[in-house]
Structure 1
Amino acid sequence: MLENLYWDAGTARLPPRLLPRLFKGRIRGPVFLPHRRPGPGKAVDARDVCPDTGLVRLSYGQARALLDEHTAIGGPGTGWDLHEFRHSALRRLGQAGASLLMLMAKSRHKKPENLRRYFKPSPEAIAELTSLLAPGDTGR
């Protein structure tokens, strides 16, 4: 199943122009690719192979090691893990007032309880919601 990814302009400006460097002019196939082709006899799903370069999508282990390497401050093993990386955007969206349903759609979580820790509406959002019940409100 193909899925759409949604990025905004801020993502494209990641230093040093990370996404254009990752895409290298490609318009299809996996985004995160290693520098080498897979070894002979390695069974790979066709969806994981870039049709333009023949390179295979990074494995989970490779992605984890690269993320740690590039975010570590205090030496190996001190950087972000993939779970933190994935959910940092959900936390920011939740703090910005995104609804629980929108967070579920963005993250593809099936159960709301798995996302509740990211859904922390601001006091302003709660006040705005409460004002909907104010006396004289024509929206009733």
Structure 2
Amino acid sequence: MAVDRLVARREVPLREKTLWRVLYETCARAEEILGVNIENLDLAARRCPVKAKGARSKARRRGQAREDFVLETVYWDADTARLLPRLIKGRTRGPVFVTHRRPGPGKVVSPRDVCPDTGLARLSYGQARALLDEHTAVRGTGTGWDLHEYRHSGLTALGVQGASLLMLMAKSRHKKPENVRRYFKPSPEAISELTGLLVPGGSSR
């Protein structure tokens, strides 16, 4: 509910609304989402590939770019599907999330990190973190939410609603069960129903 209220605030710009909703629905790391380009989006299927944390390089053939990595897929739902087309309207290439200013004359930026249509640079993690803090801080700068909380909140919500540990691992792309177990919080009703399976014929006895 807190995420919904924040995204619904009128003074929050479209870029921030979209980023926060994407982070919550994909349960992805902020660095992964900020690194996505428009040409990577599959808007119809509500998914896109990301370069995950610790991504290993693909086996390179002669002439293949060093930047090739094994990618992983993240998925979003209806609210993100509604916001993304509005955010990238008129753009077909380059970073999904960009700054409102072009890079200064003395700043060297990789061509991949600049929108070829507008010249705007990719939004950095530091900038995104500062923007979130600006809209959520209640006791001064640095007291607001952290970008990683969207990943935690999304996984916790799924765990509370009964998602299995294996499904949470598939969603979050964690490799070790112990790293995602804290989000696995089955309801008392779910545990009671599971307990009934121990009795022949279910819980009717």
2:76 aligned with 1:7: yes
Structure 2 SS opposite 1:132? helix
Letter in 2 for 1:120: K
Partner of 2:57: none
Change in CA separation of 1:27 and 1:127 when aligned onto 2, cut-off 3 Å:
farther
Letter in 1 for 2:156: R
2:165 aligned with 1:100: yes
Cα distance in 2 for partners of 1:128, 1:34 equals: 50
Partner of 1:42: 108
TM-score (norm 1): 0.75
Change in CA separation of 1:92 and 1:34 when aligned onto 2, cut-off 3 Å:
same
Kindly state the Cα deviation for residue 90 of structure 1 after the two structures are TM-superposed.
0.9
Structure 2 SS opposite 1:115? helix
2:78 aligned with 1:78: no
Change in CA separation of 1:37 and 1:113 when aligned onto 2, cut-off 3 Å:
same
Partner of 1:87: 152
Structure 2 spans left out of the alignment, 5+ residues: 1-39, 41-48, 51-72
Cα distance in 1 for partners of 2:86, 2:137 equals: 21
Kindly state the Cα deviation for residue 37 of structure 1 after the two structures are TM-superposed.
2.2
The within-5 A match list for 1:105-124 is 105-124=170-189
Change in CA separation of 1:45 and 1:52 when aligned onto 2, cut-off 3 Å:
closer
Letter in 2 for 1:91: T
2:136 aligned with 1:67: no
Identity of aligned residues (%): 77
Letter in 2 for 1:116: R
Q: Relative contact order, CA 8 A, sep 6+: which one is greater?
A: 2
RMSD: 2.7
Structure 2 SS opposite 1:58? coil
Structure 1 spans left out of the alignment, 5+ residues: none
Change in CA separation of 1:25 and 1:115 when aligned onto 2, cut-off 3 Å:
farther
2:193 aligned with 1:128: yes
